[in-house]
Amino acid sequence: MTPMSNPPHWAVFTDNTSDKSAFVGRLMRGYLPDAFGVLRGKKAGLFSTYEVNRMIEEECLHDNKILTAATSQNLQSMSSGERKKALLNHLMAQGNGYLILDNPFDNLDFGSQETLKKDLAKLSVELPLVQLISRRSDILPFIQHRFRLEGKNLQCNKEKPENSDLIFPGLLHKLPESPEGHPFDGEFLIRFKNVSVSYESRHILKDISWDIRPGEFWELRGTNGSGKSTLLTMITGDNPKAYGQNIILFGRKKGSGESIWDIKSNIGYFTPAMIDRFSGYHSLEHMILSGLMDSIGLYVIPSEAQMRTTRLWLEVLGMDGLAGKLFHDLTQGQQRLVMCARAMIKHPLLLILDEPTAGLDDESAHLFVTLVNKIAEEQTTAIVFVSHRKEPGLNPRLIFQLTSEESGSRGAVI
């Protein structure tokens, strides 16, 4: 008897020209390209961060637990790795004939990535997999067939060549100064002394001490669930657990009468989830300008100095001819660069970039990292860059590492 061979598997490389949502939609509805013909008649399951976020919203709005129905835990209390494990188990229980893996390793630490790779390797023996992939290094080793999605067109065996030397001509310009200064003459922007955080019986952070000085470039590292997001919310003023602790924020003791807006006025912040809030038809120019007002959209008449600074940022991004273009018509990579400029236009004392390159292709991630390095070199703004992925070319001067322990994560400068 001839032994049965493993099912076929496909990799579809995507970039900012790819209409990925339309492609996934066609697969889910059973409209398959000829190269995927063996999947016709099979039910598809979608493994993606989007699906996890959709189910979190379902839990929050309707108290409808889908992935965690058999447990007392909810999705919001789980790490990214735990959420994706729950989604994979759910999809397997649905009797799907194949899985669509949409950038499956995004937002996962190295250990969680390795665990997921092993789980997918086991599945690959019995189930066809279609991996949508933005980063070359993420391709699963057992994939036999490679394609590239250019717009809505699937191109066979066409992988875009790597170009690590790519740079926007605009990035050769000097970064503009802010029309509104944020003077600070203290030694520490942020100072944590022996800060601990627990939620009921769950210990998150233990005796964290961390000093951030003006102009420093930090990378914040830690595994999924180690408390990185909790630590960031203590800095941005969004976490009530900060009260009563030994924390200095921008020269003031936490809880000494400052408002959350006093804190946020000193911070530029970006995480990809923010883009979902900007669903209106805002122009590129207005998007960057709105960073001066910390608003979603522009609702006041800007000054000439503000307009001049915005035009200079557009030149830096190489988008000076796109001022009137609608933000939602930009590519994903362009949107991320614009949001970084939006966070920087007020020249904040601290810039926080939370997983800013998640979901980007190699080329766009390289350009984003180039811009961040340039900000660190030319501006006095301190930077905290958070990523599970070691981004090639990123040049942080300091690293703060969270290490998970049962009593709560400890922090150390490495």
For residue 279, is pLDDT > 80? no
CA distance 118 to 103: 16
What pLDDT is attached to residue 182?
Answer: 64
SS3 content of the chain, % helix, strand, coil (to 5): 35, 20, 45
Average pLDDT of the segment spanning 389-404: 94
Count CA within 13 A, CB hemisphere, residue 222: 29
- Of 186 and 138, more confident: 138
What pLDDT is attached to residue 191?
Answer: 97
Tokens 């979608």, residue located:
46
What pLDDT is attached to residue 16?
Answer: 78
Residues 330-343 pLDDT 10s: 888 889 999 999 99
Query: Long-range CB contacts (< 8 A, 24+ apart) of 102-106?
Result: 102/20, 102/24, 102/46, 102/47, 102/48, 102/49, 102/50, 102/132, 103/48, 103/49, 103/132, 103/133, 103/134, 103/135, 103/138, 103/359, 104/47, 104/48, 104/131, 104/138, 105/138, 106/49, 106/358, 106/359
For residue 162, is pLDDT > 80? no
Residues 163-178 pLDDT 10s: 555 566 777 788 987 6
For 298, phi then psi, to 5°, come to: -115, 125
What pLDDT is attached to residue 3?
Answer: 46
Is 116 within 8 Å of 144 (Cβ atoms)? no
Residues 242-256 pLDDT 10s: 999 999 999 999 988
Tokens of 373: 């390095």
CA distance 159 to 245: 52
Please tell me which of 280-289, 320-329, 382-391 the model is most confident about, judged by mean pLDDT: 382-391
Angle between helices 80-93 and 110-123 (to 10 degrees): 10
Strands (E), 14-109: 44-47, 98-102
Average pLDDT of the segment spanning 114-128: 95
For residue 299, is pLDDT > 70? no
Residue 347: name the closest of 179, 148, 95 by CA.
179
Burial class (CB in 10 A: 0-12, 13-18, 19+), 27: buried
- Percent of the chain clearing pLDDT 70 (strictly above): 93
Binning pLDDT at 50, 70 and 90, where does residue 113 land?
Answer: very high
What pLDDT is attached to residue 202?
Answer: 85
What pLDDT is attached to residue 53?
Answer: 85
Structural Rg of the chain based on CA atoms: 23
CA distance 257 to 237: 12
Binning pLDDT at 50, 70 and 90, where does residue 225 land?
Answer: confident
What pLDDT is attached to residue 209?
Answer: 98
What pLDDT is attached to residue 1?
Answer: 36
Is 105 within 8 Å of 138 (Cβ atoms)? yes
Average pLDDT of the segment spanning 201-228: 94
What pLDDT is attached to residue 2?
Answer: 39
CA distance 357 to 109: 14
Across-strand partners of 411?
402
Cα 182–394–348 angle (5° rounding)? 10
What strands, in cross-sheet order, belong to the sheet with 382-386? 267-270, 350-354, 382-386, 217-222, 398-403, 410-413
Residues 55-108 pLDDT 10s: 888 888 888 888 887 777 778 778 888 889 999 999 999 999 999 999 999 889
CA distance 390 to 138: 13
